[in-house]
Structure formats: C-alpha cells, structure tokens
Amino acid sequence: MIDIKLIRENPDLVKENIKKKFQDNKLVLVDEVLDLDVKNRQSKLHGDELRMQRKNLSNSIGNLMREGKKEEAEKIKQDVQKINTELEENEKLESKYAEEIKSRMMKIPNIMHESVPIGEDDSKNVEIKKYGEPIVPDYEIPFHGEILENLGGLDLDSARRVAGNGFYYLIGDIARLHSAVLSYARDFMIDKGFTYCIPPYMIRSDVVTGVMSFEEMDAMMYKIEGEDLYLIGTSEHSMIGKFKDQLLKKENLPYTMTSYSPCFRKEKGAHGIEERGVYRIHQFEKQEMIVVCEPEESWNWYEKMWTYTVELFRSMNVPVRTLECCSGDLADLKAKSCDVEAWSPRQQKYFEVGSCSNLTDAQSRRLGIRVKGEKQNYLPHTLNNTVVAPPRMLIAIIENNYQQDGSIIVPEVLRPYMGGLKIIEKQK
C-alpha cells in the first residue's frame, strides 16, 4: 500500500504506475480516493468544530450554574446534547470514509522501481545473467517423475487416493535427498549471518491482507473453515507478520532471518496440477529468507539476497540464470523482483526455482510496522527471497546429476546430510 500523500500530491505518477502494470481498470481508484479523502478531511474538520463548540458550551454551563442561572444552563445542555448526537453521526461518517479509502488503497499497486522493464506478462521478463554452463548429455534424460519412480522415491498413485492430484509421497533416498537440501540451505543461510526460525504455519486474515494483494490471496490461500486462519503459501507471510504493529528500535535493524516451513497453495488459475510430476503442486517445503531494514539499505540487500540463491544452486552443480521481472509480472506489493531459474537438460530450457523481491514500505504500512526515529517514527523496508523450495528443487538436482544407467550423483555439499551417500542407484 502506498502513502496517501503521494496520491494527494502526485496522482498522475500513481496513475502512470498503474498503466505500466497494465491494470487500467484500477485508474478509477485514484480519483475515488482523492474524492473520498476530501470528504473525509472535511468531515474531520467539522468534527473538530463540533468538539470546540461543545467545549465552549460546557464551560458556559459551569459558569451559569455557579451564577445560579440553572434554567439557562439547562437550555445550553440541550444544545450540547444536539452536538453530541451530530458528533456521533459525524464520527460514523469519518469511519465510513476511512474504510472506503483503505479498501481502495489496498488495491492500488506499489510504485515500481524505475529500472523495472515494461511488459504485459512473464514472456517479457528480461534475462540478466547466466551462471554455470548448461549441459545436455548425449543420452536421453527421462521425465523427472519417471526418474524418481524408477529410484523408488516417488508414489503419486497412493497420494491421489489419499489427497488427490497435486500431492505426493517421497520415499527412501529421494526423501532423504529432499531433507538434505533443506538442511544444507538452512546451514548455508546461517553461515551468511541469518537467524534461523520456524514460524507458525497458519496466519490470521489481517496478516494475509498485510503481506499480499487480494488477487494473490484468492489464487493462493487455503482458508480454515470456521476460523480466522489461513494456511501459509510461504513462510514469508508469517515471518513478516511477526513484526505486525511493532515499534522497532533503530539499533536493531536490519532483521535478517531464514525460515523453514511447509507451504500450501491452491494454484488457482494455474495451468493445471501435474498428475505425473512434482513441479506444480498443492504442498511443498521451503527455506526462505526475509530482511527488515532501513529504507536506504534495501536495494543493497536486494542485490545480496538473490546472489545467495545463485551461490547455493551453483554449489550443487546446478546451472542457473536470473531474470528481471517485467511490470506485468510484478505482484502489486512488489517494487522490483527477479527470478532465479535452474537449467533443465531434459527440456533444454530454464525453469523457475526462486524469486527475490523488494516490497519497499508496502507491507510495513499495511501491517503497522514502524521504526522509532530520533525525530519521528518511520516505515522500514521489507524484502523476501527463496533460498530453496523442494521438491521442485529435486527436478534441477536429479536432471543435472542424472547418469545414463538411471542413477543420480549426490552433489558433494549434500553428502554430509545423507550419511556420506554418493550415488542414488536405480532400483532393480
């Protein structure tokens, strides 16, 4: 959510930002906010005038009572009662205007960074850089679901009977590899100076609307029936929510945290849930990183954070590239975002395995996160980035380490987390 002062002072800039995101249907929101803001401020001014009148009349009542002019005082009391009634109605009007303004402000996208490329959708994202040489072996690499099944590590049929499409059983050494990736990612981020955290896996609705747009919420979140609770789609939600309504001490910034959690997503509007693989699924696990920092430091953190993900993948012998997300592929609260994509030698193309975003002060304003300044309080910036998100990560590992005999070489950095196992062999 942006500052309403920006709409008051530069509505054209806000409208131009909306146009660049190809959301022209939201242009009317700016004019509606301006109109409601004028009415709200007029209502507040009228309320202040009524309170001043009431105060003056109350003083008069006291003076008249002391002078023994009870009858005159009673008449003024009736006037005070009328003011009280009018003030009550005016306060209801103020609340109505404030709520209508907020509901519109929550839908207006954050101001994008000037470097964000303009484009309608993810097809217009811009490649930044490749890391590692993408290799295509001279033998065929099967579909990842088939590889995992041949290694005795994936059971989708049982999962469908238990929960439906979009769920899975990971078994044996593949399940162990899955856990090894998460443990390695945890220690990797701790070594970078991040504090490890396991957050709540459910959050309340006021946290959900504080960390994401309504469109994202509808497409992603699972609601717990009969309760004000949602299953998290990523631990960033509860990690940023940790600071909700808090007044932070300046000397404690930045907060740098890495968190583990299962994640749950409806994947509404996605191109179907795969029946054979684990690329697009309803349930997965994830190691995340978040930063809450001084506004002037957020862009330095943004550059650091995505490089950590690149470094992690390269340490597991997975070639990757980074993509600058274009305006039409940028979620409403994000000021800038880049994706990390891993190389698929089977498909001979890259696929997304992580995303890094700077949301500037959008989440802080929604959640009421402030920093105590020397002269006045201010809003910190928040950032998030995927460290690793298996089992999708397994696709990158198994394809880039697949051998002609159907076995998988375990990346060296993961072997200590697998009891020294070097190769996952095809089951006979």
Q: Which of 79, 105, 131 is the last residue of a domain?
A: 105
The pLDDT, as a whole number, for residue 219 is 81
Q: Are residues 86 and 146 in the same domain?
A: no
The tokens for 265 are: 């997503």
Together in a domain, 9 and 66: yes
Task: Please report, for the domain that includes residue 255, its CATH number.
Answer: 3.30.930.10
**Do residue 321 and residue 240 come from a single domain?**
yes
- Please tell me the predicted confidence (pLDDT) of residue 268: 58
**Residue-level pLDDT at 64:** 80
Q: Quote the domain boundaries for residue 367.
A: 122-424
Q: Is residue 399 part of a domain?
A: yes
Q: Are residues 272 and 400 in the same domain?
A: yes
- Please tell me whether residues 101 and 138 are part of one structural domain: no
State the Cα–Cα distance between residues 261 and 263, nearest whole angstrom. Answer: 6
**Contact present, 237 and 203 (Cβ < 8 Å):** yes
- The Cα-based distances of 208 to 12, 205, 218, 232, 250 in angstroms read 29, 5, 11, 9, 26
**117 lies in a domain?**
no
Q: Are residues 99 and 169 in the same domain?
A: no
Q: Measured between alpha carbons, how far is residue 113 from residues 120, 129, 211, 254, 356 in Å? A: 16, 20, 19, 21, 14
114 assigned to some structural domain: no
Both 313 and 220 in a single domain? yes
Q: What is residue 259's predicted lDDT score, i.e. its pLDDT?
A: 97
Q: Which of 72, 105, 138 delimits the end of a domain?
A: 105
pLDDT number for residue 274: 54
47 occurs within a structural domain: yes
On whether both 169 and 59 belong to a single domain, the answer is no
Shared domain check, 101 and 229: no
Q: Which pLDDT does position 428 carry in this prediction?
A: 65
**According to the model, what pLDDT value does residue 1 have?**
85
pLDDT tens by residue, 19-66: 999 999 999 999 999 999 999 999 999 999 999 988 888 888 878 878
Residue 216 domain-assigned? Answer: yes
* Pair 89, 219 in one domain: no
Are 206 and 263 within one domain? yes
What residues of the chain score a pLDDT lower than 70? 268-275, 428
Residue at which a domain ends, from 57, 79, 105? 105
Residues in contact with 255: Cβ distance below 8 Å, sequence separation at least 6, in sequence order: 195, 243, 248, 290, 291, 292, 293
CB 108 within 8 A of CB 24: no
Q: In Å, how far from its chain's centre is CA 44?
A: 34
Domain membership of residue 50 (yes or no) is yes
Instruction: Tell me what pLDDT residue 275 has.
Output: 57
What's the predicted TM-score (pTM) here? 0.90
d(CA 240, CA 183): 22
CA dist., res. 92 & res. 46, Å (int): 13
Domain count, the chain: 2
Concatenate the DSSP letters of all residues of 336-351 into one string: EEEEEEEEETTTTEEE
Same domain? For 24 and 142 the reply is: no
